[in-house]
Structure 1
């Protein structure tokens, strides 16, 4: 399992030995090498974002030609990569694709120590002792963004720190005819599971940080009381009407827009939403608070990784590796990524831009506080290494979250389902 202290080093953004790359216009020369690059699109990461990002690297390395591929859904990129592999079209480079399964099969390049020297956590996310995804950034998943006007209208005067305070806020909002939470689902799945991720992370990992490692070892189960009690809190929100079952038909983009349109007071989402909160039109002020815990103790779920993986069998392996490293370490590219997607880069020597927006700054400050207080845990369902869910289990997690919201499964039934699927995945 990744250590919480390792995540903390992400805040050490001012270092004496700067490793952030500056554009030198260098090139290796020679014949043009083609590489395919699997991306994904979100409301933040638009086609224009990817095209410009690719151009920054190919301007620096004109001997590399990139053929962009786009996953059909935001969270479907891993499944799409599997389909491409099965059809003999496995991409040369892929970003934010879960390496589990691919790495064990020998299909991903194992990054060497000298190639990881510019990253703050070169040993993050090991799979069978290897490192198959560049540990590019840290994300908190999920804080809760909120509509300050709705909170004021409902008489909610402070942001919740305990679960009881969250329930009280939701009750006051509902009593005023306001939808307490904005959630989604649809083709992307994961927006329905964000609250479940939060409550499992703070309640389960907050007590047992290596719980999922123990699950892999068969020492604990999803149907154990600790896990069931966390899921029951999520189910209780649905039972009380604080979550709308109709919302799970919305995809990710529509879910984000629904919150920006004022259709819900609270929006549990990864810190990447801060970029949209700071840049997209909305008629109210947006605040952010940490996911509440049972007793108010500070516990902040976060994930470091999510970077580029390279096909170990790529025809132009050297070009693919050069592209990946340049994409993840070029300062101009990182600056654009920070503002576009609200991430916290885990690159040595990097400093956050001075002009980041207020919502991103607020979330970043919350994360720094958690780091200072050693209060960071893994974000359940987002791990991608030996301490993560088994291959294929993330989609089961997203599906069972939607089943809970719609009333098709109780918390006990949902946890039993996860145990059954886990045995199949083994």
Structure 2
């Protein structure tokens, strides 16, 4: 989750003071700890969502701390969706957290601020070398997220006479026209306030089908100066998003909605299709009566399967932690705890990328179908990167994803053409790379 909204210096100081609380193992350790005796206080930066509540984190912290005696965890909760921006502010004041979860290591790793994970520490992970930076892994790759898939309201499809999800992009457009003709908004897309990142999913989808399908390392080529955002390989994808809005298939008023309000809008039947990350599956299965949700992959022109996905999202450890070894040990204990993993699956639809992991029984049909779609794509070698979410070598410069989200809003509102959007991204990339 991302946001362009940055805290003022005063708000930042207040948030830092209010967000820290001790959890987990008991003990008095100082801020620096006593690493030589195996007793240490470590700061842990996390986040809270409607799915991943304070109780979820506190319980998981306590279990990990039981496995690593001598560690006291001081929990820090990011005050906005922009966890990377918050971590950077902390780092700038010499307070980079000792442990962070779901914070892109890009930028921190290159600056020597993170400790790399060794092959021995990564042995339990399905894709141990996901998103390497300079040949080293700085974030535990514990969770795979197809980002996005398209979740749809089956009742709306039936009302419009649509008997099955679209297989090609032409069918998607035809279905959108049928929905609109019945007075049903085809796509729910948000991105208001601090949640500007939420408008990115149509573009991530079209970049997957129209750019990355043909050139999987396209963004790495951009980083190497071999391609531009103004090239047809990218502007074709952007033009599709602009056309969806121009044809009235995206309710532009929805761009003012926050992430939570956007999800609620879909639940309140304010649109038939909701492009969103796989974490929505858990929420969809906790459905109200009459809210019957299905899921399909964003269709390509020729109907071939393409699924953008990201594997990562786990712990990173500061190279300046008072005891790096204990910090790593605690982070692994947290990541490998079966109860925490099961709770993440049940509450946030996680697809756990750990060897021999079995999800809890009784998961709902939307989660089950989401996992099946991902597994089918993996078997067909149809997985591509999720544009703007990459974190390894060749990914976007730090901060550019937020700029892209702002540009997508302009693309949907008709304030930028696909070519202008491409030029905007090229310019912002150049600025961020200086």
d(CA) in 2 for partners of 1:362 and 1:191? Answer: 23
Match of 2:333 in 1: 326
Task: Please tell me whether the aligned partners of residues 38 and 326 of structure 2 are also in contact (alpha carbons under 8 angstroms).
Answer: no
Among candidates 135, 159, 169, match of residue 163 of structure 1:
169
TM-score where L is the length of structure 2: 0.89
Task: Please tell me whether the aligned partners of residues 36 and 67 of structure 1 are also in contact (alpha carbons under 8 angstroms).
Answer: yes
**Structural mapping, 1:212-291, within 5 Å:** 212-281=219-288, 283-291=290-298
TM-score where L is the length of structure 1: 0.91
d(CA) in 1 for partners of 2:174 and 2:120? Answer: 52
Task: Please tell me whether the aligned partners of residues 305 and 377 of structure 2 are also in contact (alpha carbons under 8 angstroms).
Answer: yes
Match of 1:5 in 2: none
Among candidates 150, 163, 166, match of residue 156 of structure 2:
150
Q: Secondary structure at the match of 1:114?
A: coil
Match of 2:409 in 1: 402
Pick which of 113-122 and 200-209 moved more: 113-122
- The yes-or-no answer on 1:127 pairing with 2:121 is no
Task: Please tell me whether the aligned partners of residues 252 and 413 of structure 2 are also in contact (alpha carbons under 8 angstroms).
Answer: yes
Among candidates 324, 334, 353, match of residue 317 of structure 1:
324
Once the two structures are superposed, residues 206-253 of structure 1 have per-residue CA deviations (whole angstroms, 9 ceiling, x without a partner) of 111111111111111000011101110000011111112211111111
Task: Please tell me whether the aligned partners of residues 138 and 346 of structure 1 are also in contact (alpha carbons under 8 angstroms).
Answer: yes
d(CA) in 2 for partners of 1:52 and 1:403? Answer: 42
Q: CA RMSD in A?
A: 1.7
Match of 2:55 in 1: 48
Gaps of at least 5 residues in structure 2 are 1-24, 26-34
Match of 1:339 in 2: 346
- The yes-or-no answer on 1:63 pairing with 2:70 is yes
Gaps of at least 5 residues in structure 1 are 1-24
Task: Please tell me whether the aligned partners of residues 260 and 282 of structure 1 are also in contact (alpha carbons under 8 angstroms).
Answer: no
d(CA) in 1 for partners of 2:289 and 2:258? Answer: 19
Task: Please tell me whether the aligned partners of residues 130 and 137 of structure 2 are also in contact (alpha carbons under 8 angstroms).
Answer: yes
Pick which of 280-289 and 366-375 moved more: 280-289
- The yes-or-no answer on 1:191 pairing with 2:198 is yes
Match of 1:110 in 2: 116
d(CA) in 1 for partners of 2:290 and 2:61? Answer: 34
d(CA) in 2 for partners of 1:73 and 1:165? Answer: 38
Higher RCO by CA contacts (8 Å cutoff, separation 6 or greater):
1
Among candidates 379, 382, 386, match of residue 375 of structure 1:
382
Q: CA deviation at 1:104?
A: 0.2
Match of 1:351 in 2: 358
Match of 1:6 in 2: none
Q: CA deviation at 1:260?
A: 1.4
Q: Secondary structure at the match of 2:120?
A: helix
d(CA) in 2 for partners of 1:232 and 1:301? Answer: 19
- The yes-or-no answer on 1:34 pairing with 2:58 is no
